[in-house]
Amino acid sequence: MAIADVKEYTHLSAEQVEELGAKLDAVRARVEASRNAADAAYIHRMIKLQRGLAFGARVAMLAGSYAPKERKLFRRGAMVTGSAMLGAAKILENMEIGHNVMHGQWDWMNDPEIHSSTWEWDTAQPAEQWKHSHNYVHHQFTNVLGFDNDIGYGILRMAREQKWSPVNLGQPVYNALLATLFQWGVALHDLDIERIRKLEKDPKEMKRQLRQILRKGRNQVLKDYVVYPALSGPGWKQTLQANVVSNLTRNVWSYVIIFCGHFPDGALHFTEEEVEDETRAEWYLRQMLGSANFEGGRALHIASGSLGYQIEHHLFPDLPSNRYPEISVDVKRLCAEYGIPYTIGPLYKQYGQALRTITLLSLPNSWTDHASEKYGDQAVPTAEVADRRRRSDSERPHRRSELGGWSRAGARAEA
């Protein structure tokens, strides 16, 4: 069963779906042809801003550390300012820079320092593993149960089609822990704990990935919790605390932004049967139906890695993020033309809906049927509920070319 057969969207004929795909291809071609020096200047400006924030944060912390003890107000203010600046720098590096650079959005510049094949970001997950779990798996199989590992990150039950277990009763707690420790949860994401638990993971590949994670995690811990505090001398405790707060800020912010783009009301989930023999146009349609945007000004969108335009990002993950506002105009027009919902709302509302879903799905479907109907979901018959196990690469179809450069064989050769 193809995406065009999903009950809610049978008003679109196969010809209309392909026509929509052709128009989206035209949008892509237009933006690709118009990439220019202004786009290059944008990413250089973001990197300069991020590095300036990080440098300023460290200077402020050092100033607070070495200030005379009697200047308590100055010391405290310097640490608070440094922590806030460092948190902003980490958010900017992870979201608008690292995430988008590793998608190949700036590869067209042929700059070896700003390229998806060379960028290593300031977080615990190795870039190579992220490009596999995110660029390859998530973006190709967005919201497909059993294929997309981002649906609950192997921790949360996020769809009524997923089989319920008593373990799910703890979802509100797991969710809070995931938000707090998000960079470490993401670090383990590509490792696929579920397949390891079921003894389905290749031991050699598991050891290779573990070595990468341990090496990257060790470097992150040493940098933030040993080296910089040590450089602060007498104020090492305050610097350590500031680094903890900045990392926590980045973790929670990244978690909220990502959940707002995938789990609010209106962002659909799909089964593997619904994407069999999926065409390019049907892939486009699934991205539009499975994603959600949030409203906000330019500063908010930059801080969120332009993922307030999650629909546009899922349609064109390798186009420059600064072009998403103009792309959204075309996407909204096409949604209106073809009667496709363009799911968008305020940030607080989108996250509130995701949080409500997490809470409701911690319970069996039979306990929440009434609530599900109230919020626009359909109760899932027991026969359709299945244990949607996560698939390996060999069990998934081949990747799409626009999802960013990635090669597991190349990664093994580099390890």
Q: What are phi and psi of 293, to 5 degrees?
A: -105, 170
pLDDT of amino acid 151: 86
For the chain, give the number of residues.
Answer: 415
Q: Is residue 111 part of a domain?
A: no
pLDDT of amino acid 392: 55
Q: Which domain holds residue 170?
A: 3-35+122-414
At 296-341, the pLDDT tens digits run 999 999 999 999 999 999 999 999 999 999 999 999 999 999 999 9
Overall pTM surpassing 0.85 (yes/no):
yes
**Distance in angstroms (rounded) separating the CA atoms of residues 322 and 43:** 9
Q: Is residue 313 part of a domain?
A: yes
Which residue is associated with the tokens 């027009």? Answer: 333
Which residue is associated with the tokens 């995931």? Answer: 178
CA of 253: how far to CAs of 101, 180, 187, 247, 403, in Å? 19, 10, 16, 10, 24
Q: Is residue 61 part of a domain?
A: no
pLDDT of amino acid 324: 98
Token code pair at residue 3: 């995406």
Q: Is residue 104 part of a domain?
A: no
Q: Is residue 9 part of a domain?
A: yes
DSSP string covering 180-191: HTHHHHHHTTTT
Number of domains in the chain: 1
Name, in order, each residue with C-beta under 8 angstroms of 383's C-beta and a sequence gap of 6 or more: none
Q: Is residue 47 part of a domain?
A: no
pLDDT tens digit at each of 415 positions of the chain = 345 445 556 688 889 999 999 999 999 999 999 999 999 999 999 999 999 999 999 999 999 888 888 888 998 899 999 999 999 999 999 999 999 999 999 999 999 999 999 999 999 999 999 998 898 889 988 888 888 888 888 789 988 888 889 999 999 999 999 999 999 988 988 887 777 777 878 889 889 999 999 999 999 999 999 999 999 888 899 899 999 999 999 999 999 999 999 999 988 888 877 777 788 898 999 999 999 999 999 999 999 999 999 999 999 999 999 999 999 999 999 999 999 999 999 999 999 999 999 999 999 988 877 665 555 454 343 335 444 455 555 555 554 555 544 444 444 444 4
Q: Is residue 72 part of a domain?
A: no
How do strand 293-294 and strand 344-345 relate by DSSP bridges?
parallel
pLDDT of amino acid 320: 97
CA angle 8, 11, 14 (to 5 degrees): 110
297 within 8 A of 279, measured Cβ to Cβ? no
Q: Is residue 64 part of a domain?
A: no
pLDDT of amino acid 9: 63
